[in-house]
Amino acid sequence: MSVRPLRPARWASAPILTLPALALLAACSGGGAAGGGGSPGDPATGPDGAESYTLDLEGKEERVDDIGTVYDEVYGGKPMPGALAPTTGTATFNGAVSFGSQVKDPDLVAALAVTVDFGTAGVTGSMWDFHDRAGHVAGGSVALTGEVPEESPSSVVLGGQGLLDWGPEQIYLRIDMTGDLYGAKADWLYGQGVATLTTDGVEETYTATLGGDNDRVD
């Protein structure tokens, strides 16, 4: 599968400031977009001076840590055998989705929550808080739905679609993933799939990796 990086936004030629540099700039300018660079979580300015996107490097790193932690837990292990999968109750997995060929160095990353109802075999979830490689944040979220396959009770299939608002650009995202349960008590959900991002009629395909911790079991 060919995985291409996100198309650079119109301001991508400008240098990306590190957190210390942003803090120094805010201190010198009084902070905020009026100073020309912004700060994590505040509107940042493009080359035309318009508030066109939000920069949140710390938030991006938190999402990368979320997926990286699950990756480290399941790496080299085997999924839970189907015979040991829960048949009643629900489990909620909180984590992240990484887009690109490198799980811990993604082109795009988003927060993830997936709830599995083992009694009904239903799966629901959501992705939000999307960050690109530089830390720019997109508005919007993607609702996910799916099921626990009857022939594979220790896995889930899920997918969804939605519109992401990236300042001057809107990106349509469609994603389909398969995840497996890991751990003696279904401690983690981890898997991969394919995501298609469409901007101005141009489609780009990414490997999507999902990972979540089982935060609650009823």
**Three-state secondary structure of 3-20:** CCCCCCCCCCCCCCCCHH
User: Looking up tokens 């629900």, which residue turns up?
Assistant: 90
Number of structural domains (the chain) is 2
46 and 100 belong to one structural domain: no
64 and 50 belong to one structural domain: no
Give the up-direction half-sphere exposure of residue 72: CA atoms within 13 A in the CB hemisphere: 7
Q: How far apart (Å, rounded) are the C-alpha atoms in residues 7 and 9?
A: 6
The answer to the question of residue 2 being in a domain is no
Residue 139's DSSP bridge partners are: 165
Both tokens of 63, joined, read 């999402």
Nearest CA among 53, 203, 199 for reference residue 130: 53
pLDDT in tens, 121-133: 999 999 999 999 9
How many other CB atoms are there within 10 angstroms of residue 106's CB atom? 26
Domain final residue, candidates 55, 75, 103: 55
192 and 130 belong to one structural domain: yes
Domain final residue, candidates 11, 32, 55: 55
The answer to the question of residue 6 being in a domain is no
149 and 48 belong to one structural domain: no
pLDDT in tens, 91-108: 999 999 999 999 999 999
79 and 121 belong to one structural domain: yes
Phi and psi at residue 29, in whole multiples of 5°? -105, -5
Nearest CA among 133, 195, 192 for reference residue 166: 133
32 and 69 belong to one structural domain: no
- Is the confidence at residue 84, as pLDDT, over 50? yes
| Mean local confidence (pLDDT), 21-49 | 35
The answer to the question of residue 113 being in a domain is yes
- Is the confidence at residue 218, as pLDDT, over 80? no
39 and 64 belong to one structural domain: no
47 and 63 belong to one structural domain: no
Both tokens of 44, joined, read 């940042």
Burial 5-39 (b: 16+ CB within 10 A, else e): ebeebebeeeeebeeeebeebbeeeebbbebebbb
The answer to the question of residue 3 being in a domain is no
| Mean local confidence (pLDDT), 28-33 | 32
Domain final residue, candidates 39, 55, 71: 55
The reported pLDDT for the residue numbered 31 is: 34
- pTM: predicted TM-score of the whole model, two decimal places: 0.77
Q: How far apart (Å, rounded) are the C-alpha atoms in residues 213 and 122?
A: 18
CATH of the domain at 86: 2.40.160.90
The reported pLDDT for the residue numbered 13 is: 28
Q: How far apart (Å, rounded) are the C-alpha atoms in residues 213 and 93?
A: 5
**Residue 144: strand, helix, or coil:** strand
Tell me which residue range forms the domain holding 34. 19-55
pLDDT in tens, 149-188: 999 999 999 999 999 998 778 999 999 999 999 999 999 9
The answer to the question of residue 199 being in a domain is yes
The answer to the question of residue 134 being in a domain is yes
The answer to the question of residue 130 being in a domain is yes
200 and 134 belong to one structural domain: yes
183 and 203 belong to one structural domain: yes
